[in-house]
Structure 1
Amino acid sequence: YDFKENLFLSKRTSNAFERTLEIDGEQIHVNLDSYMGDARYEAVADPKGEPLFNLMVTGAQGAQQVSLKKGEFIEANDVVIDFDSNKTFDKPVIAISVEGDKAYLNAPMTLATLSMDTQKTAALNGGKHPMTLRTLFQTAQSGFVLREFLPKASMQLVSKPAKGPMMQGHDALTLTLSSGDKKESVVVLGSVGEVDEGKKIALGDTHIEIAYGSIERKLPFAIALRDFELERYPGSMSPASYASEVTLLDPANQEKFDFRIYMNHILDYQGFRFFQSSYDQDEMGTVLSVNRDPGTLITYIGYLLLAIGMFGVLIVKNGRFNALGEKLKSLDVKKTAASLAIILMTLGTTDSIAAEGENPVIKTAKGFDKAHAEQFGHLIVQDSSGRMKPMDTLSHEILAKLNRNDTFMGLSSNQVVLGMMLRPDAWREIAMIRTGDKEINKLIGLPESAKTAAFSQFFEFPDEISGYKLAQMVDEATRKAPGKRDKFDKALLQVDERVNVAYMVYTGSLIRMWPKPADKNHKWDATIEALQSLAPKEAEIVRLLAIGYFGSIDEAMQSGDWSKADEALARIDKYQRFVGASVYPSDTKVKVEILYNKVNIFEQLWPLYFVVGFTLLILSFIKIIKPTFREAWLSKVSFGLLVLFFAAHTAGLAMRWYISGHAPWSNGYESMIYIGWASVLAGFIFSRRSVMTMAATAIMTGLILFVAHLNWMDPQVTNLVPVLQSYWLTIHVAMITASYGFLGLGALLGMITLILFILKNPANSDRLNLAIKELNAINEMSLIIGLVLLTVGNFLGGVWANESWGRYWGWDPKETWALVTILVYAVVIHLRMIKGAYSDYIFSVVSLLAFTSVLMTYFGVNYYLAGLHSYAKGDPVPVPDFVPWTYAVIAIIIAMAYSKRATR
């Protein structure tokens, strides 16, 4: 007998399940007693339990977590850790034991110890000693840490969500099976994508096997894996792509052929589609997902028809979109425009350095020739993710991290980093590491008002680089969950990161500029690493090149002649091109990236957008209040400047696309600058209808670019994970992120309209009412375009998902919130069809508040939820302090506009 039934269980429902099965005339009742999601067995304190050690052990299998109960042992590289197993071993035995509620170890040799709390080291003589928590015990080849000790414990089921993107926990079902007076309880664990081995029980003479999980289905053919290939980005462990070389075997149809399956390239045979899903950790096996969907073509045709219908809304003659355009023509509101006054500001910061004047340390720091440093910026380096980029890019990233500036003491980032590498003795005395926190300054020993500190000031003994003053506080802050860290903790960790970056520059370990010959992963090494790891002949070449370059720098600084240094640098460049030719980027790409760094387009644009936007907005209000105000020529000038800004914005996106090799909307920073671009485009579309719309667009774009350059947004150009390398993704993300620009414009127009409500009085009521109706019509048109783009973008997302994983919809957080956003804006746009529910005031309010769903879809999912779209790691960051204040201001504006909500 065989019984199968689908179960739909959840932590938030009652999960009732009862069935009666009849087997050979005997009735067996099955009842679900309890359900536990994200279940796993863990050691839990239990008065009736036995002692248990939770260890982190470095052994033959690498670092691994193990739990030892009495009678068990774990074998490391050169020792065995034994808990009363009474067995004999060939290796030395470190015996662990329990006396009362204390843990002890007995070692036959001297162990090295390291306290993870104080970072103090010590030698532990052989013999019996208390076994302390958070202490690393080391032999010659092994190490172990006692993570947890429970004097009395038992393994029990607990519910703990699995960590990491898309990690699936197990469900635990406690079932009772009964027949007559016979009754048995059983716990089964299972999850999606796993086949449970099942539990066997007996009810009298009836033997039952019960399992929970996915059902195994037999294929009418076989697939054999011939080879699995994993390519990583050069010099990193990040996968660039992975593929399975398989052979399909179908004896029934006498078919046999080879095929290569990789991400977004599927094997389709007899209606079965095989997708590259994952791979085993040892890289010896592959994981393929399979689906069979005869309706794929019908679904795609349906998507196409829906997309045609959605875009048809924008062009059909009798549609709402066209009707809104006609309404705008009928409104006799004079177009407002504005003049533009742009103030170009050059902001310089004077950093506190010890006695600038003729200080020899400062003189040494400024002695690096700028022209030579720019040539140094053309060298190629490899970052930790494997991206090949010019040294100029890394220099900008380093100085931005340390000092939040592009220049320092009048020196370019290349001059600064070159100086830090070659004269660390001078640079570590210069206050260049930004602190900006009174408490941190106290810990370091600086005045409370100090903004920067020298590297040497972070250490009690700067000559030995020991006695790190922030060590204990940093350790405490690191152990806190991100959501529980206060302002001081966050500032402390940021400063600690800057200190570590500075140290890595001083030691050269951050500058991976030497390609490893014939390395299968195309890894590049830092100087010291290259000298230690390369073959003697290659290491000698690197040594001569490095010494020759460093020596020529010293000569140049004394003589002022940098020609020999230029020649030495050219020799390193030649070595890079020859040995690292397989991953060396083209000269054109290097030049474009350096130009991109120097121009810094997006950071330069946001204040310009702000100035234009606020100026236009103010003058638009003046025009509404004082109709005789003349501004035609100002409108043309401001519009022309915005065209120039938009052209620069477009050029910046194009340069970033060329540099990275993928569309510039693959991470948070890139999607923000793209949304800003789409917002300006939306403004141009409606600019002929209303200058105020263009003003709102410019302000919003400036705000978006400003947010993109806050500390928590990373502007680095990065590599793509394999699943994102798809043309379907490019179109899908482009349409959805573009929709955010139109929906954001609607929100800002809603805010401006509410402000117009507040400004109404008997004298200007007629003019403002017309302006409100005009802006609301433009607002609705913008929302319609945004909703069309968002909806069609989601259709394309379904196509991408089906081509990548074999499913259209998986209730991923991003998918779910995108659907919520579509439904929210569908309600907003169709609110006019609900009698008594629509007015100009209500529409302004809901168009503003509806943008909250976009913010949740974009920020909430990307930074707070784990899924296929977010690639989130670790705990979510705390909600920024300005968020509740922003919504408080919005609530006040809505309340103030309420009393003047009537329009005719």
Structure 2
Amino acid sequence: VLFSLNNKIDGAINITSDGYYLYIESSFNGSYMRMIDQFNGRVEKDIQDELQYRSLYNVAGLQFVFPEPIISGDYKLVKNEEEETNQNLLKLKVSSNGEESLIELAGGKGIADQYQTFSLAGLDFSLKYGSLLYELPFYIKLNDFIAEKYPGTEKSYSSFMSRVTVDSDNAFDYDIYMNHILNHKGYRFFQASFDPDEKGTILSVNKDFFGTLITYIGYILLYIGLVAIMFYGKTRFKDLSVRLDKLKSKRVNLSIIFLFFSTAITAQADYTHDGDNFSMDPTIKNYVVDLEHANKFGEIVIQDAGGRMKPLNTFSSELLRKVSKSDTYNDLNSDQVFLSILRNPLAWYSEPIIYLKRGNDSIRNIIGVDKESKYAAFINFFDDSGNYKLSTYLEKAYKSSLPNQFEKDFIDTDRKVNLFFSALEGEILKIFPVPNDKNNKWISQSEVKDYNYQNVDSLFVNNIVPLYLKELDNGVSSNDYANAERILESIKGFQLKYGGEVVPSEDRIKAEVLYNKYDIFKRLFLYYFLAGLAYFIFIILQIFNSNKKINKIFNYIFKVFKILIFGLFILHTIGLIARGYVSGHAPWSDAYESMIYVAWATMGIGLLFAKKSDLTLASTSFVASMILMIAHWNWMDPSIANLVPVLDSYWLMIHVSIIVGSYGPFALGMILGIVSLFLMILSTSKNSKVIKHKLSELTIINELALTIGLVMLTIGNFLGGMWANESWGRYWGWDPKETWALISILVYAFVLHMRLIPKMRGAWLFNLMSIIAFASIVMTYFGVNFYLVGLHSYASGDKVITPDFVYYSFVFVLILGIISKWRYNKFLSK
């Protein structure tokens, strides 16, 4: 049977269009069934009728469906506004003998297209756009491509590797993977990417043996020179150290009023906290699982959505923190809460546990809770008919390419609701390994029916959780959890039997549970703050005191504070080591980890200058506490995650530790700059001599700190170039973070060399610039991570609106600079 479009033929099935609708006119009788509502209709012979889309036609013994309307238009390449691709379009205007033609050539990096041929004014042209093709003096054959994924995931790759044979004079096999390159006859092959079907590999190649050798030698000489200026010869750094020692040896009677400033503790508004107490449902309150047993339950291993294997204690902590922004709920820890949800999910439908962001009354009005409510219950988000109250607003919010704060709050709340729902349904309790699964996938009990467990194993996975919950009820009633604990041991045995390959060691599980229990970095915020505050108070008391005997007592007190802060620094170090051990990688791979590492580096630099200045150490303790506080604000995720392949490298230990560590000295320089400007504001004709002495001391320490920071940042940046060359075969790619790190180097190099410009010398301008320059570090760290897209980004594509504190900080520095300049010129510039 013949089909015809817009050309009526007798004996055919004719389809015609009037520009808006399609019509069918058949030379045969037939029928159709509309799939959406199962409606049955008839096709009458030689009668024109409107064509029904997505309907099954049965005409002349043929069955056919028109799924969509006919698409009409011009075929051409257009710009993709949604995402960038490797393919570009080059438009050329070709002219010859007065004739012109517009030629479009598709191509780009890594694309070698065919020549496009055309004739113009009697001449034949062949043009193409893309990469040049070079022939290697040998062949490489791909034997196998292996893409290893994190357990239970489909697209979360832990590593990928190309197994190749090099067909040369002496053929040999070799494995190419990230940070493990193939060197052969001066050519270097890098694992760049792979085909989506994981059957083909993409390698990048370069040839520059002598260039690489000379470049690396130059880098090493640079590192040696930068480090040497701090220890050898007649350098500015050595001269400043000598001057600082001379200032320290002078006995000056300090009789000034020191202005102590601090960020209000109310800044903790977004800080993770202990949960509020509510009147709990009696079925929850009266059946709380014993804490000791809950802790044992927390040691069961679970697989998260990213494929990380971790104890349930970590998982329940993350769940409670994401849903309620709290670490506890009504004095129940996260394990007790999660067990209660598993035992009695219906009771938790009405518990106010889902955190509502402050200031957004729209969500509260929509779900029908009080404007002052900080939390809502799951049931509040649904009407009496079971309809989701936020659905109307979420469709627009998720489609928005640049969601406003209103839409972002809806998206954030929706994610909390869905996460809590998956907990109520038990879908996230993935504790059962699938036997012989190539990706080591683990599943929850609700997924068991979709997998082919055999015999006893089938009975186990289908019944062990209900049995455990039943024994848990008996344990709550009798306070005897022996049977429940035996079931937990059987679950551990099942996990080791089929998932032992990915189950963490017993020591690592216990270490992670202890890490969660003590939450050292959250505690250190308060400890550092209190130590710094008390240290400042005693410094002020010493300033008002002129009695030598009492001053000796103060000196002993200062030694105690130094020992105390050093002890906190040791705890900080232990915390970093513990996180590194638990995660299996260096603890500075994401936003949260780099923040706690910057706090550690800042505190380390402060201790380095502890002998030179008590005020510096007190300031450093304060700065470290503020950094840790920011690290625990809600937009920082403290969860431990798996590494992307490129970060799974020893270069992470070297490059990132140095470059992120440099932020510590810069942060110290910033706070010393602020302290110095406040001292200038406090200056009078009576105390100018004393303030000049203290100002000289702080300014020298500031310059020393900035010098250390600049040396570390420069070395770290060039080490990043070496890492990039070993990973991708290029030193510099103008990645946003690379570029902003370079800008920061130039900014601080300028600040440190302003003393060579006559009009830019002086303590006021130097200290002011040490504050302003820190904005480049903030941009390098936060701006790149959360605004721009690149290899170093953490924001996962979220559009970030500039926080209000940025504008407040600008106004604060502006006012501080103007007032301090006035007082400096009046009392200190002579």
For the pair 1:801 / 2:724, whether they are aligned, the reply is yes
Shift of 1:545: 1.9
Instruction: Give the structure 2 partner of residue 188 of structure 1.
Output: 105
For the pair 1:527 / 2:439, whether they are aligned, the reply is no
Instruction: Give the structure 2 partner of residue 236 of structure 1.
Output: 153
Instruction: Give the structure 1 partner of residue 237 of structure 2.
Output: 321
- The 3-state SS of whatever aligns with 1:220 is coil
Corresponding residue to 2:305 among 342, 365, 384:
384
- The 3-state SS of whatever aligns with 1:187 is strand
8 Å Cα contact 2:586/2:652 also seen in 1:
no
8 Å Cα contact 2:274/2:329 also seen in 1:
no
Q: Deviations over 1:127-147 (max 9, x none)?
A: 799999xxx9999xxx9999x
Shift of 1:614: 3.3
Alignment partners' CA distance in 1, 2:423 and 2:148: 29
Letter in 2 for 1:223: I
Q: TM-score, normalised by structure 2?
A: 0.88
8 Å Cα contact 1:233/1:386 also seen in 2:
yes
Instruction: Give the structure 1 partner of residue 282 of structure 2.
Output: 360
Instruction: Give the structure 2 partner of residue 203 of structure 1.
Output: 120
Alignment partners' CA distance in 1, 2:148 and 2:20: 50
- The 3-state SS of whatever aligns with 1:540 is helix
Deviates more, 1:180-189 or 1:708-717: 180-189
Corresponding residue to 1:612 among 505, 520, 531:
531
Instruction: Give the structure 1 partner of residue 95 of structure 2.
Output: 178
For the pair 1:290 / 2:205, whether they are aligned, the reply is yes
Alignment partners' CA distance in 1, 2:751 and 2:546: 32
- The 3-state SS of whatever aligns with 1:899 is helix
Instruction: Give the structure 1 partner of residue 227 of structure 2.
Output: 311
Letter in 1 for 2:163: E
Q: Tell me: CA distance 1:104–1:642, structure 2 relative to 1, closer, same or farther (3 Å).
A: farther
Corresponding residue to 1:264 among 179, 182, 185:
179
Alignment partners' CA distance in 1, 2:242 and 2:601: 25
Instruction: Give the structure 2 partner of residue 479 of structure 1.
Output: 399
For the pair 1:842 / 2:779, whether they are aligned, the reply is no
Letter in 2 for 1:195: A
Shift of 1:743: 1.0
Bigger proportion of residues as helix: 2
Alignment partners' CA distance in 2, 1:521 and 1:151: 42
Corresponding residue to 2:423 among 505, 508, 511:
505
8 Å Cα contact 1:338/1:616 also seen in 2:
no
Q: Tell me: CA distance 1:292–1:399, structure 2 relative to 1, closer, same or farther (3 Å).
A: same
- The 3-state SS of whatever aligns with 2:512 is helix
For the pair 1:812 / 2:735, whether they are aligned, the reply is yes
For the pair 1:459 / 2:382, whether they are aligned, the reply is yes
Instruction: Give the structure 1 partner of residue 195 of structure 2.
Output: 280
Shift of 1:479: 2.4
Deviates more, 1:395-404 or 1:438-447: 438-447
Shift of 1:603: 0.8
Alignment partners' CA distance in 1, 2:546 and 2:70: 80
Instruction: Give the structure 2 partner of residue 543 of structure 1.
Output: 462
8 Å Cα contact 2:108/2:130 also seen in 1:
yes
Letter in 1 for 2:315: L
For the pair 1:893 / 2:816, whether they are aligned, the reply is yes
Unaligned runs of 5+ in 2: 26-30, 42-48, 58-64
Identity %: 40
For the pair 1:491 / 2:409, whether they are aligned, the reply is yes
8 Å Cα contact 2:86/2:109 also seen in 1:
no
Shift of 1:560: 3.4
Instruction: Give the structure 1 partner of residue 44 of structure 2.
Output: none
Corresponding residue to 1:409 among 330, 339, 354:
330
Shift of 1:835: 1.9
- The 3-state SS of whatever aligns with 1:186 is strand
Alignment partners' CA distance in 2, 1:395 and 1:144: 50
Q: Deviations over 1:274-308 (max 9, x none)?
A: 01111000111000000001221111111111100
Shift of 1:190: 2.7
Letter in 2 for 1:322: K
Letter in 2 for 1:813: P
- The 3-state SS of whatever aligns with 1:766 is helix
Q: Tell me: CA distance 1:104–1:554, structure 2 relative to 1, closer, same or farther (3 Å).
A: farther
Corresponding residue to 1:791 among 693, 709, 714:
714
Instruction: Give the structure 2 partner of residue 46 of structure 1.
Output: none
- The 3-state SS of whatever aligns with 2:198 is coil
Letter in 1 for 2:214: I
- The 3-state SS of whatever aligns with 2:145 is strand
Q: Deviations over 1:105-139 (max 9, x none)?
A: 99944434xxxxxxxxxx4746799999xxx9999
- The 3-state SS of whatever aligns with 1:291 is strand
Alignment partners' CA distance in 2, 1:574 and 1:85: 70
Shift of 1:767: 1.1
Corresponding residue to 1:431 among 347, 352, 372:
352
Letter in 1 for 2:684: N
8 Å Cα contact 1:787/1:825 also seen in 2:
yes
Alignment partners' CA distance in 1, 2:55 and 2:572: 56
For the pair 1:400 / 2:321, whether they are aligned, the reply is yes
8 Å Cα contact 2:32/2:56 also seen in 1:
no
Instruction: Give the structure 2 partner of residue 74 of structure 1.
Output: none
- The 3-state SS of whatever aligns with 1:426 is helix
8 Å Cα contact 1:664/1:670 also seen in 2:
yes
Written as runs of structure 1 = structure 2, the 5 A alignment for 1:847-862 is 847-862=770-785
Instruction: Give the structure 2 partner of residue 32 of structure 1.
Output: none
Alignment partners' CA distance in 2, 1:763 and 1:338: 17
Letter in 1 for 2:602: S
Q: Tell me: CA distance 1:871–1:899, structure 2 relative to 1, closer, same or farther (3 Å).
A: closer
Corresponding residue to 1:600 among 501, 519, 524:
519
Instruction: Give the structure 2 partner of residue 562 of structure 1.
Output: 481
For the pair 1:468 / 2:384, whether they are aligned, the reply is no
Alignment partners' CA distance in 1, 2:17 and 2:688: 85
Alignment partners' CA distance in 2, 1:512 and 1:105: 53
Q: Tell me: CA distance 1:98–1:756, structure 2 relative to 1, closer, same or farther (3 Å).
A: farther
8 Å Cα contact 1:377/1:414 also seen in 2:
yes
Shift of 1:418: 0.8
Deviates more, 1:285-294 or 1:768-777: 768-777
Shift of 1:698: 1.2
Instruction: Give the structure 1 partner of residue 62 of structure 2.
Output: none
Shift of 1:617: 3.5
For the pair 1:422 / 2:343, whether they are aligned, the reply is yes
Instruction: Give the structure 2 partner of residue 880 of structure 1.
Output: 803
Q: Tell me: CA distance 1:848–1:104, structure 2 relative to 1, closer, same or farther (3 Å).
A: farther
Letter in 2 for 1:213: G
Shift of 1:826: 0.8
Corresponding residue to 1:753 among 668, 671, 676:
676
Root-mean-square deviation (CA, aligned residues, Å) is 3.2
Equivalenced residue count is 779
Deviates more, 1:629-638 or 1:770-779: 629-638
Letter in 2 for 1:351: N
Instruction: Give the structure 1 partner of residue 61 of structure 2.
Output: none
Shift of 1:729: 2.7
Alignment partners' CA distance in 2, 1:85 and 1:535: 57
Shift of 1:459: 1.8
Q: Tell me: CA distance 1:729–1:333, structure 2 relative to 1, closer, same or farther (3 Å).
A: farther
Letter in 1 for 2:777: V
Q: Deviations over 1:801-824 (max 9, x none)?
A: 111111111111111111111111
Shift of 1:196: 3.3
Q: Tell me: CA distance 1:845–1:363, structure 2 relative to 1, closer, same or farther (3 Å).
A: closer
8 Å Cα contact 2:149/2:157 also seen in 1:
yes
Deviates more, 1:758-767 or 1:680-689: 758-767
- The 3-state SS of whatever aligns with 1:900 is helix
Letter in 2 for 1:323: D
Alignment partners' CA distance in 1, 2:149 and 2:6: 43
Letter in 1 for 2:778: L
8 Å Cα contact 1:814/1:861 also seen in 2:
yes
Alignment partners' CA distance in 1, 2:22 and 2:678: 69
Written as runs of structure 1 = structure 2, the 5 A alignment for 1:686-765 is 686-765=609-688
Q: Tell me: CA distance 1:347–1:381, structure 2 relative to 1, closer, same or farther (3 Å).
A: closer
